[in-house]
């Protein structure tokens, strides 16, 4: 199975387990396992598409691992916001809705900050065109994950 197909299969399974109504410790444990799988496949997908020389790879991967670690904390916060929302969306108060929006926007701002903070580090490890390619790859993978996740999150009812 190609790396892209493995990533999409992982995302699909992740989206199924993230669907509303799938509460409980087993679902959360499955989501954590799938999240780790997605992260591992993401690294493989970056490796295949970035085409680093041995020297570039030796400099790039430690920075990438720190970047992913910092990003994981932000993504975990976002998952908590989504879990909180899906658990309470049917009887969501205005105050709770505003808190969730604030928490979501804070996580998104932190996500952008992590990406910006690591830009200079990446630029020291690989040429600018490869840095741009790396961020393009990241954006494309994020778009797929977000699209699948969005399909599982119900819209607030009026």
Query: Which residue segments constitute the domains of the chain, with CATH numbers given?
Result: 3-150 (1.20.120)
Of residues 145, 149, 152, the one with CA closest to residue 7 = 145
Q: How far is residue 106's CA from residue 122's CA, in Å, rounded to a whole number?
A: 24
Q: Please answer whether residues 71 and 111 qualify as being in contact, where contact means their C-beta atoms are separated by less than 8 angstroms.
A: yes
Q: How far is residue 52's CA from residue 130's CA, in Å, rounded to a whole number?
A: 9
Per-residue model confidence as pLDDT tens for the chain (158 residues): 455 545 555 554 454 444 444 444 555 565 566 666 676 688 888 999 999 999 999 999 999 999 999 998 998 898 888 888 888 888 889 999 999 999 999 999 999 999 999 999 999 999 999 999 999 999 988 888 788 777 778 788 77
- pTM for the complete prediction? 0.73
Q: How far is residue 17's CA from residue 3's CA, in Å, rounded to a whole number?
A: 21
């Amino acid at each position: 199975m190609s790396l892209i197909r493995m990533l999409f299969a992982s995302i699909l399974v992740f989206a199924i387990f993230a669907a509303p109504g799938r509460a409980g410790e087993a679902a959360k444990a499955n989501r954590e396992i799938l999240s780790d799988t997605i992260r591992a496949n993401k690294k493989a997908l970056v490796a295949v598409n970035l085409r680093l020389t041995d020297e570039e790879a030796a400099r790039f991967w430690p920075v990438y691992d720190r970047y992913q670690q910092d990003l994981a904390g932000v993504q975990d916060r976002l998952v908590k916001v989504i879990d909180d929302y899906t658990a309470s969306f049917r009887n969501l108060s205005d105050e709770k809705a505003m808190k969730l929006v604030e928490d979501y926007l804070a996580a998104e701002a932190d996500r952008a900050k992590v990406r910006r903070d690591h830009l200079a580090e990446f630029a020291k490890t690989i040429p600018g065109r490869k840095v741009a390619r790396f961020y393009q790859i990241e954006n494309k993978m994020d778009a797929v994950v977000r699209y699948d996740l969005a399909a599982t999150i119900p819209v607030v009812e009026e």
